Structure 1
Amino acid sequence: MAQFLFLRGGSMQPADSHLTTLARGVAESMGFELVGVEFFQRGTGGATLRVYIDHERGITLDDCTAVSHQLSGVLDVEDPLPGQYDLEISSPGMDRPLVFPDHFERFAGSRVRVRLAEKLDGRRKLDGLLQGYEGGLVVLEVEGCRWEVPLGVIESARLVPES
């Protein structure tokens, strides 16, 4: 089963499985792919829960509104997060986050920007060509060298839009 990651304040951490199940269930039941979930604490004034969805035809404002309405109802009943938060539904955009192992497989051949949670061979940032996902490792070509990065040490990974 694919590991889902939860972005908290800019860094990826394993997701709360209940929240993941709720968001994925709503998105997939409506015909969308759940790309990722981001959670930001805002000083003393609450937080933002951002859910990224995608579809092969793209995402419209109406899509985001419909998913927001459905997910909001589920979150109100299930109450998986303490305190107040704003719910945002968004397309992943041109710099789409890569979260699941199948994302790294699907976007092989694309330019990516990866930030690591800890240094690997003296580096925390890797910009290069995504080669794929093999045996729990994200494979990149960076400056002519092959990098095999464990998924668990990736803080964030995003596609680099082509100019």
Structure 2
Amino acid sequence: MHAGDDGALGDRFIVESGAAARVAELIEPALSGSGFRLVRVAVSGREGKTLQIMAERPDGTLTIADCEAISKEISPLLDVHDPIAGSYHLEVSSPGIDRPLVRPSDFEVWSGYEAKIEVKQPIDGRKRFRGMLEGFADGEVRIEVDLGEAGRNIIGIPMALVGEARLVLTDELIREALRRGKNSNELSDGAEAPETDSEED
């Protein structure tokens, strides 16, 4: 399984709301057409809002030059369609090392690394799970977790119940992120374009 797989495994299960959802719907086709994948959109702040676009290449990397290219491509779309009221700062960045997991394929790509998952509804009285990812199968995220007296077991969490998931920053993850960055000859983690301002008051 690879990050660039097509079909349902490559579709984001994370769904933004409000202005962030309008932005995501607007820019995702443009990013895809330019060889990038949208990871997440977030709008923060009230006065002096920040619009954060998190994106990556299919191999999980993103350079500062990529960030700048994305910013130049989506800025005209945002100006024309005006999905956010008032002025804002546009920030384009990579997902970072302890990245959010937003596609079923992410759980396959990062199998063998530790993750935190928060579910929308309690499963056996729990809403938070932390453990080693064991991939994705039959519509479920597989994760090895500590179940107390029952010991460590691999459980399946239905994709529809996953509210938020992200990798846990560990030494192993840092080493792997550096290895992937070197293999692609790109600085993949923490890349961020300079902030730009919308021209609207």
Query: Shorter-chain-normalised TM-score: which range?
Result: 0.7 to 0.9
Identity of aligned residues (%): 35
Residue ranges of structure 1 left out of the alignment (5+ in a row):
none
Which stretch has the larger CA shift, 18-27 or 117-126?
18-27
Residue ranges of structure 2 left out of the alignment (5+ in a row):
1-7, 147-151, 172-201
- Aligned-residue offset at 1:78: 2.1
Q: Where does residue 54 of structure 1 map in the other structure?
A: 56
Q: Where does residue 78 of structure 2 map in the other structure?
A: 75
Q: Which of the pair has more CA radius of gyration?
A: 2
Q: Where does residue 146 of structure 1 map in the other structure?
A: 154
- Aligned-residue offset at 1:57: 7.5
- Aligned-residue offset at 1:51: 1.4
Q: Where does residue 170 of structure 2 map in the other structure?
A: 162
Confirm or deny: 8 A CA contact 1:54 1:92 kept in the other structure: yes
SS of the residue 2:15 aligns to: strand
| Normalised TM-score (structure 2) | 0.66
- Aligned-residue offset at 1:135: 2.6
Q: Where does residue 88 of structure 2 map in the other structure?
A: 85
Confirm or deny: 8 A CA contact 1:32 1:54 kept in the other structure: yes
RMSD after superposition: 2.5
- Structure 1 residues 65 and 104, CA, compared in 2 at 3 Å: closer, same or farther? same
Point out 4+ residue stretches in structure 1 off by more than 6 angstroms.
Answer: none
- Structure 1 residues 62 and 3, CA, compared in 2 at 3 Å: closer, same or farther? closer
Which stretch has the larger CA shift, 98-107 or 21-30?
21-30
Bigger strand fraction: 1
| Normalised TM-score (structure 1) | 0.79
1:110 and 1:132 map into 2 onto residues whose CA distance is: 10
* Number of residue pairs matched by the alignment: 155
Higher RCO (CA 8 Å, separation ≥ 6 residues): 2
SS of the residue 1:5 aligns to: coil
Confirm or deny: 8 A CA contact 2:117 2:165 kept in the other structure: yes
Confirm or deny: 8 A CA contact 1:98 1:158 kept in the other structure: yes
* Correspondence list, 1:1-163, <5 A: 1=8, 2-7=11-16, 16=21, 19-40=23-44, 42=45, 44-45=46-47, 47-55=49-57, 56=59, 58-143=61-146, 144-163=152-171
Cα deviation digits, residues 103-144 of structure 1 (max 9, x gap): 122222221111223322122221111112223221111021
- Structure 1 residues 45 and 152, CA, compared in 2 at 3 Å: closer, same or farther? farther
Bigger helix fraction: 2
